[in-house]
Amino acid sequence: MTTINLTINGQPVQAPAGTSILEAARQAGIYIPTLCYHPELRPEGACRLCMVEASGSRGLAAACVYPVAEGMVVKTNTAKVREARRTVVELLLTNHPKDCLCCQKSGDCELQKIAADLGVRKLRFEGGEKKSHAIDDSNPSLVRDQEKCVLCGRCIRMCRDVQGMDVYSFARRGFNTIVTPAFGLGLGQAACSLCGQCSTVCPTAAIVEKDDTDKVWDALSDPDKFVIVQTAPSVRVALGEELALPSGSVVTGKMVAALKQLGFDKVFDTDFSADLTIMEEGHEFLHRLQNGGVLPMITSCSPGWVNMIELKYPELLPHLSTAKSPQGMFGAIAKTYFAQKAGIDPAKIVSVSVMPCTAKKAEAARPQLCDSGYRDVDIVITTRELGRMIRSAGIDFAALAEADFDSPLGYGTGAGVIFGTTGGVMEAALRTVADVVAGQSLPKVEYHEVRGMEETREATLNIVGTEVKIAVVHTLAAAKKMLERIKAGEADYHFIEVMACPGGCIGGGGQPVPVDASVRRLRREALFGCDEASIIRKSHENPDIIALYKEFLGEPLGEKAHHLLHTTYQAQRR
Amino acid sequence: MSRKETEGVCFEKREQVDAILAEYEGKKGTLIPILQEVQNLYNYLPREALEYVAERTGVPIAEIYGVVTFYSLFHLDPRGRNIIRACQGTACHVRGGKSVLQALEKELGIKAGQTTKDLRFTLETVACIGACGLAPVMQINQDTHGRLTPEKIKTILAGYR
Ligand code: SF4
Ligand code: SF4
Ligand code: FES
């Protein structure tokens, strides 16, 4: 690869040919403000905030799309550059609501930060026409406020290039330009998976998770309610970022302590029901394999993924495992088994879950998830929302003494915790399936064959004499390709894991922002660390799971398990 | 182009849309001509037809919507049989173009940009139609009407009812 020599602000810099000025500058530790640029998305050069002086360019050059050239002299901080940038920001702010103080994104907003960094103190163009748009509140997961949209197009690129869902597009032109789903539909009417990835790249509050924290506060302050909470595997390795701890911090004990301080009556762990999911899904897989069932069987714990297949490939629904997601299983067990065991009227239980995911809010609202006789999961908040609750309660998170999950739904194995990363559900399932087939506890625990970050991975494994061909897929664009292959008869796998979000739940649509590949890697390593530190690392060896089957459920795939732990899917027409 | 999951789709003039799509099958960069022909078929672009075009061409519906709303030649709502373009250019403006437009709005019971319920008239404004000598002017379909006053509107429209 040719190396290009240039100078940026007088500093000699080397960069491979084809690098943009922006990337070359960032590698050299020189910061250029950006808005439409996102490290994980194809650059578009739309906002002009990253303008710099570059020899060879006639006006100012947009650093995010302008390639470096030999001998190029770049200046990122001249009077001309500062004035041009400031004008861009002022124009954006002029047409932007000024409710920063009460905005859901306050503190995490890139526009706010840029305006502060550039020292914008007054707006010279005030008084012009302003756009006004209705809020899109059409679904349980996400809220869109187009008045806060800066037309950076990141959501379009995320949804199109990474998720393959193509929900958004620029529409109209000139001053009237907007970013919108077709026909101005709300996300609840458009063919949107509710994965929330667009909300993780939106620089402002134009796309945010629907805030359900008030519902939680209300439940917590109601003396007649017994409020329980479950926390998803990937929350413990990401929540710290909301509370000023470095990425990859494992905050399980502090998180439990904080939830207890917030006033939850019981703090349980979705890792427990992830183990339960493995019991059902693993046995379902073996049943399909041995009885000529529909193969490949595909995992169903990622609700963005389930929405996608229900929307776009309903003819392939028989491939989905009928096992509920860990959130769904927990909900059904909490208001039956736990209620009975603890002697609590299930009507008084408010079941809250903390999820890395915006689509989980919609999952909990599915009419199918009422098998306890009540709504199985009442309120879902994301990692970001829990972070806000902890901050608003004034809890000094870093100083909290660690606490333990409650019993009997609070113990999960290492297999349960790795559900939070791409490949984790597959690995957890293999640990159990292999032991079940062998009829004994095998020494093999880790399946490095399925680990990795490539969007589609595959392996052929020998499970006690049987060849099993598996695949692991993450991102919806990759999932779509896999489904096309299945339709074309080109995918002879037995078992496929699909997660909607990049990296799986660790990169979920409800996780702290900003996020990129390095942040996801740290969260993922932290999860594998939790697994390694676990004494029990196979779902079927979880003593609380064994007790649950013995005391209450009977056999995996048995009648009671079928009723409480399995679900149905149907085509969504939107 | 794929025919996936479109077999059972049913809407008005579907066969003609199929014929248009067949004409462009396998060619690149054909979205705009397809949309133009579909619009000629209905006089506007009905949502079902656009969704069908999206399904068959593989172009995402959001993108098609973006294209349709970008070009002023495309219309998402039904259009009247007679298209009135009331000029609001500088010359017309100075000579009372605004009151002519108001008279049109009053007579038709619609605002600029709208279509009458009976689909007889669509009222639009234009920046200049190059007939400044006759200001204030309007065009109805291909006919130019000049030296307008609000009083003349009723009679002129009667000729198109
Ligand atoms: S939630 Fe996911 S599918 Fe829906 S618009 Fe956002 S990125 Fe696209
Ligand atoms: S909604 Fe957010 S991400 Fe999408 S264009 Fe607007 S500001 Fe950018
Ligand atoms: S960041 Fe370069 S143009 Fe927007």
What was the ipTM of the complex prediction? 0.90
Q: Within a 10 A sphere around the Cβ of A26, how many other Cβ atoms? A: 16
Q: Please report, for residues A284, A354, A469, A474, the alpha-carbon distance to residue A295 in angstroms, rounded to integers and kept in the order given.
A: 11, 32, 11, 19
CA-nearest residue to B71 within chain A is A172
Ligand (nearest to CA of A51): 3
Q: Is A150 in the pocket of ligand 3 (CB under 6 A)?
A: no
Q: What is the pLDDT of residue B7?
A: 63
Hey, are the CB atoms on B62 and A166 less than 8 Å from each other?
A: yes
How many angstroms is it from B64 CA to the middle of ligand 3? Answer: 25
The string of DSSP letters for A449-464 reads: GG-S-SSEEEEEEEET
Whether residues B32 and B87 fall in one domain: no
Q: Which residues line ligand 2 (CB under 6 A)?
A: A 149-155, 179, 201-204, 206-207
Q: What is the residue type of A258?
A: A
pLDDT score recorded for residue B129: 87
pLDDT of residue A126: 75
Q: CA angle A379-A230-A322, nearest 5°?
A: 85
Domains and CATH numbers, chain A: 3-91 (3.10.20.740), 131-207 (3.30.70.20), 214-565 (3.40.50.1780)
CATH number of the domain that residue B102 is part of: 3.40.30.10
Indicate whether B90 pLDDT > 70: yes
pLDDT tens-digit map of A429-463: 999 999 999 999 999 999 999 999 999 999 999 99
Reply yes or no on whether the pLDDT at B3 is more than 70: no
- The residue from B20, B35, B70 where one domain ends is B70
Q: Determine, yes or no, domain membership for B120.
A: yes
Q: Is B77 inside a domain boundary?
A: no
Quote the domain boundaries for residue B51.
3-70
First vs last Cα of chain B: how many Å apart? 43
Write out pLDDT tens, residues A193-228. Answer: 999 999 999 999 999 999 999 999 999 999 999 999
Evaluate whether A371 touches A210 at the Cβ level (below 8 Å): no
pLDDT tens for each residue of A287-334: 999 999 999 999 999 999 999 999 999 999 999 999 999 999 999 999
Q: What is the DSSP string of B14-75?
A: HHHHHHHHHHHTT-SS-HHHHHHHHHHHHSS--HHHHHHHHHHH---HHHHHHHHHHSTT--
> A8: which 2 tokens?
């940026």
Q: Among A167, A172, A311, A317, which would you mutate to test the B interface (most chain B Cβ atoms within 10 Å of its Cβ)?
A: A172
Cβ(A251)–Cβ(A236) below 8 Å: yes
Number of domains in chain B: 2
Spans of chain A below 50 pLDDT: none
Query: Quick check: is B75 in a domain?
Result: no
Give the up-direction half-sphere exposure of residue A187: CA atoms within 13 A in the CB hemisphere. Answer: 35
Number of the ligand closest to the Cα of A151: 2
Burial (CB count <10 Å: 0-12, 13-18, 19+), residue B104:
buried
Bridge-based pairing state of the strands A297-298 and A349-355: unpaired
Q: Are residues B86 and B66 in the same domain?
A: no
DSSP for A168-234, written as a single string: EEEES-GGG-EEEEGGG--TTTTT-----HHHHH-SSTTEEE---HHHHHHHHT-TT-EEEEEE-GG
Q: What are the C-alpha distances in Å from B116 to residues A507, B77, B98, B111, B161? A: 51, 11, 20, 9, 12
Cβ pairs bridging A and B (under 8 Å)? 36
Question: Kind and range of the H or E element at A291?
Answer: none
**Crossing angle, helix B14-24 and helix B47-57, to 10 degrees?**
30
Contact (Cβ atoms closer than 8 angstroms) between residue A108 and residue A241: no
What six digits make up the tokens of B48? 């079902």
Q: B109 and B134 share a domain?
A: yes
In a domain, B28, yes or no: yes
Those residues whose C-beta lies under 8 Å from the C-beta of residue B5, and which sit 6 or more positions away, are: B55
Residue A546 identity (one-letter amino acid): I
Residue B76 lies in a domain: no
Residue B88 shares a structural domain with residue B154: yes
Residues B46 and B103 in one domain: no
> Are B125 and B84 within 8 A, CB to CB?
no
B62 and B21 together in one domain: yes
| CA proximity to A207, closest of A216, A217, A197, A215 | A197
Q: How far is CA A362 from the centre of its chain?
A: 14
pLDDT at B138: 95
Residue B51 located in a structural domain: yes
Residue ending a domain, choose from B70, B94, B124: B70
In 10 A of CB A501, how many CB atoms?
A: 33
Contact between A144 and A199 (Cβ < 8 Å): no
Distances (CA, A) of B3 to A124, A213, A477, B21: 54, 45, 21, 11
Whether the CA torsion A444, A446, A448, A454 is positive or negative: it is: positive
Nearest CA in chain A to B76: A183
> What does the pLDDT read at residue A371?
96
Give the model's pLDDT for residue B5: 52
Angle at B26 between CA B23 and CA B32, to 5 degrees: 65
Instruction: Using the mean position of ligand 1's atoms as its centre, give its distance from the Cα of residue A329 in Å.
Output: 25
- What pLDDT, in 10s, does the model give residues A17-60? 999 999 999 999 999 999 999 999 999 999 999 999 999 899 99
**Placement of tokens 């399936």 in the chain:** A433
DSSP A297-324: EE----HHHHHHHHHH-GGGGGGB--BP
> For position A121, what pLDDT does the model report?
86
Residues B40, B100: one domain? no
Among the three residues B70, B100, B118, which one is the final residue of a domain in this structure?
B70
* B146 alpha carbon – ligand 1 mean position (Å): 52
pLDDT score, position A384: 98
Classify burial at B46, counting beta carbons within 10 Å of its beta carbon; exposed 0-12, middle 13-18, buried 19 or more: buried
